[in-house]
Amino acid sequence: MPPSDVVVNKVIVHPLVLLSVVDHFNRMGKIGNQKRVVGVLLGCWRAKGVLDVSNSFAVPFDEDDKEKSVWFLDHDYLENMYAMFKKVNARERVVGWYHTGPKLHQNDIAINELIRRYCPNSVLVIIDAKPKDLGLPTEAYHAVEEVHDDGTPTSKTFEHVPSEIGAEEAEEVGVEHLLRDIKDTTVGSLSQKITNQLMGLKGLNQQLRNIQKYLVKVGNDQLPVNHQIVYQLQDILNLLPDITHDNFTDTLYIKTNDQMLVVYLASLVRSIIALHNLINNKLTNRDAEEGKKEEGKDKKDKENKELKEGKDGKKDKDEKEGEKKEKSKDEKKNRFRLRWAFFAQVAASDKEVRIRSDHNADASLEIVGEWLKEMRSKYHSVHYTFNASDPLRREELSPTHWPLERFKDVIAMKEEALRLAREIWADYVFVSF
C-alpha cells in the first residue's frame, strides 16, 4: 500500500529520537534564544497503520517572534542530510517532522505542507523537552481536510493521533546504560527505587483523577456514553484485588512484616558497618599520628647527632689548626734561634780571628777552616749552596779548598769569611731541625 494511502492509527517513538531532540534543544538554547527547534523524523510503516519513528536529525529553522507567518527552514540542508542517512540505512525514510512546542503553533500547517514534498502523509510529533506534568512528553498529529458547514472552502487542520514510547531490546539496554551514567551517584539504589515508585504513584493518581472527571461528566450528561471506554475501565477495575477478604488481609500483613524485617536487618548491618569503618578510621589516624611522632623524634635525634658531630669535627679541626700553628710557631722560633746562633758563631769567630791575626797572620786560614768544619758538624742538617758567580763554584768548604794566594792579608780574609757566612745564610735550605 503506498504511503499516501496509509491511515495513521498509532505512532511509536523510539528513545533515540527523544535523546536526539533533547540534545538539539539544549545545543540551540546555548547559542541562541529560539523557543523551539525543528527537525525531520525518519522511520518506516508497520502493519495496520502503525508508524515506527526510529531516528531523526535537526534542520536549521528560524521564525519571527512577532510575525508568526515569517519563518525559514533550510530544505537544501534537509535533502543533503536525508541523502546521507539513506546511504547508511535505506529502510529509514522521511515520515514526518518534529518541534519542541510545547503546543501547536500558527505556522505548523505551512511547515507541514513543505515536509509533504518528501512524505505525502507526514506526521507531526510535538516533543516537550522540558515537561512539567507527569506523562508522555510526546503528542502526535496528522493533517486532515476540514469541511465547513457554511460552504466555505476546506482548510487544513491537525488531528490527534495516539502515540507511545517503544524500543527494541538492544535499544532498551543501551538507553538503560546511558541513563545509568547520568544518574546522581550520591543517591543510593534504595532511595532511587522509592523515588521512582513515588513518581509512578503520582502518575497513577493523576490518571485516576482523569477517569473520575470523565465518569462525572458522563453521569451529568455532559459527555456521551462511549461503551468502549466503559469496557476498558471495567477491565481495569477487575484487576483490583478483593481487600475485604480475611485471607488477603493476613497475607498482606505477613508479606509486609517479612519485607520490613529485611529492611530492619539491612539497617542494622549498615549501622554496624558504619561503626566498624569509624573504628578503623580512628585506629588508622592514631597510627598515623604515632608514626609522625616517631619520625619527628628520629629526625630530631638525627639533627642533634649531626650537630654534635659537627661540633666535634669543628673542635678537632680547631685543635689540628692550633697544633699546626704551634708547630709553625716553634719552627719559626727554631729558625730564629739557629739564625742568631749562626751569627753569634760568626761574630765569635770574627773576634777570634782578630785576636789571633794580631799575633800570627799565617794561622788565620786554619781558624776559618776549623770554624767552618765545626759549623758543618754542629749543624749537619743545613745544606748550603753558592751563587753561580761565586769563585768557589759550589765546592765543599774545607781548609784544603782554600787557596793561599786568594787572601793577601788577614783583614781581607776576615771580610771574605763574613761575606761567605752571609751568603750561606741567605742561600741555604732547611730540611729539619
DSSP letters of 269-312?
HHHHHHHHHHHHHHHHHHHHHHHHHHHHHHHHHHHHHHHHHHHH
Give the residues across from 42 on adjacent strands: 55, 94
Q: What's the whole-number mean pLDDT along residues 224-232?
A: 91
pTM: 0.50
Looking up cell 611522632, which residue turns up?
293
92-120, pLDDT tens digit by residue? 999 999 999 888 988 999 999 999 999 99
Q: Where are the domains of the chain?
A: 10-181, 196-240, 242-278, 352-424
Query: What is the fold, at CATH topology level, of the domain defined by 10-181?
Result: Cytidine Deaminase; domain 2 (3.40.140)
How far apart CA 416 and CA 422 sit, in angstroms, is: 10
Q: How far is CA 30 from CA 25, 26, 35, 131, 185, in A?
A: 9, 6, 12, 19, 26
307-346, pLDDT tens digit by residue? 777 666 667 777 777 777 777 776 666 666 555 555 556 5
How far apart CA 54 and CA 14 sit, in angstroms, is: 5
Give the residues across from 22 on adjacent strands: none
How far apart CA 29 and CA 107 sit, in angstroms, is: 21
Top-confidence residue, 347 or 359: 347
For the chain, percent of residues with pLDDT exceeding 70: 71
Looking up cell 647527632, which residue turns up?
305
Quick check: 364 pLDDT over 50? no
Quick check: 124 pLDDT over 80? yes
pLDDT-derived band at 61, boundaries 50, 70, 90: very high
DSSP string, 76-110: HHHHHHHHHHHHH-TT-EEEEEEE--SS--TTHHH
pLDDT-derived band at 303, boundaries 50, 70, 90: confident
- Give, to the nearest 10 degrees, the angle between helix 189-219 and helix 227-238: 140
Quick check: 396 pLDDT over 70? no
Ramachandran bin of 312, using left for φ above 0, alpha for ψ from -120 to 50, beta for the remaining angles: alpha
Top-confidence residue, 184 or 408: 184
Give the residues across from 383 on adjacent strands: 429
277-297, pLDDT tens digit by residue? 999 999 888 888 888 888 878
pLDDT at 338: 58
Dihedrals phi, psi of 378, to nearest 5 degrees: -75, -45
